[in-house]
Amino acid sequence: MTRDAGPSIRTVAIKRADLVKLVMQYREALSSATEQSVLDRSARGVLWKDDGKPDFKSDIAPIKDATISLYNALIAPVQAEVDTADTLLIVPAGELYYLPIHALGRATPDGSLSFLIEQKRFAYLASADLLNAIASVRIVANNHGTTHPLLALGNPDGSLPAASEEVSTLGRLFINANIITHGMINSLEPKESYLLLAGDPGRLSVKDIVEDNFKLSFNGTRIVTLSACETNIGGFDPSAVYSSLSRAFTKAGAPTVVASLWSVNDTSTKETMTNFYKEIVAGQSKAEAMRRAQLAVMHDQRFAHPYYWAPFIVLGDWK
């Protein structure tokens, strides 16, 4: 669906079971490359190129092949529409919630990869029917201006040393309201997914936010950022998890949730979040700020692999 035209439907020549298998292969391949291998290959300018070295076959080929196969299955059939768009709003279903569609890409003539995020802005929606709710809470958040302080809950349990640095850096950047903390996704009971806080009991669940005694108000909060969120893959519909998170915070008044699709590297997360909020302060939209932040991390030789730069998605309001 585009702004200037009604919905159009494209079918893809892949069975659901085969697509799910590809997504799972991609997820498994994400962690196959070692940090040293990524650094060495990036320094030589051959990260994605088949140079005949053993580490290409073991570390790089699996995710490169899955990246291209998924691009061909999901993006190529709508390539004409994608080419004319500036921002892609993705409403995933089922196992596609596991997939960073912004990190899919095509092979380049020199044997490297060109990723979608290099050309397009992205945002993800739990469902299309949230658009009206997002528009309403966006108005409230914008009316609050930029006078709200930053609430950054970094390293509440001592397990995330770079998060403390992240919070200190962000505290020097700006004064508008955002929340940054460690989050744990409960794949079996989505409403029990929680934000990690210090003290006892030290957990604030999605259920607490919208149903129980807390019923917190996030009115005026532009972004809720779960900068160290963890997701486990299991035999369930993952759409329930992110739908629960997105709906909970939208209902509580926050139009945007920034969350990760897999357990993240502490150091690359600090770099991503610092760059993201610098771009927000500079006036970029949330989708564009994330795009620029991910490109900045991608261009760091230490973090050129999508495991490091691709985990974060903007859920909800992208403007």
How far, in Å, CA of 95 to CA of 51, rounded? Answer: 33
Backbone angles phi, psi at 205, to 5 degrees: -85, 165
Q: How far is CA 286 from the centre of its chain?
A: 12
Identify the residue with better confidence: 202 or 13: 13
pTM for the whole structure:
0.84
**The pLDDT value given to residue 248:** 75
The closest of 243, 181, 242, 252 to 210, measured between CA atoms, is 252
Backbone angles phi, psi at 279, to 5 degrees: -70, -35
User: Is residue 148 over pLDDT 50?
Assistant: no
Mean pLDDT, to the nearest integer, of 84-91? Answer: 93
Percent with pLDDT over 70 in the chain = 72
Percent with pLDDT over 90 in the chain = 41
**The pLDDT value given to residue 60:** 95
Q: Where are the domains of the chain?
A: 16-124, 130-316
**The pLDDT value given to residue 21:** 94
pLDDT band at 23 (very low <50, low <70, confident <90, very high): very high
The closest of 252, 238, 237, 233 to 316, measured between CA atoms, is 252
In the chain, the amino acid numbered 130 is L
User: Is residue 127 over pLDDT 80?
Assistant: no
- Mean pLDDT, the chain, integer: 80
pLDDT band at 177 (very low <50, low <70, confident <90, very high): very low
Token representation of residue 186: 């409960």
**The pLDDT value given to residue 301:** 93
What topology does CATH give the domain 130-316? Rossmann fold (3.40.50)
**The pLDDT value given to residue 175:** 44
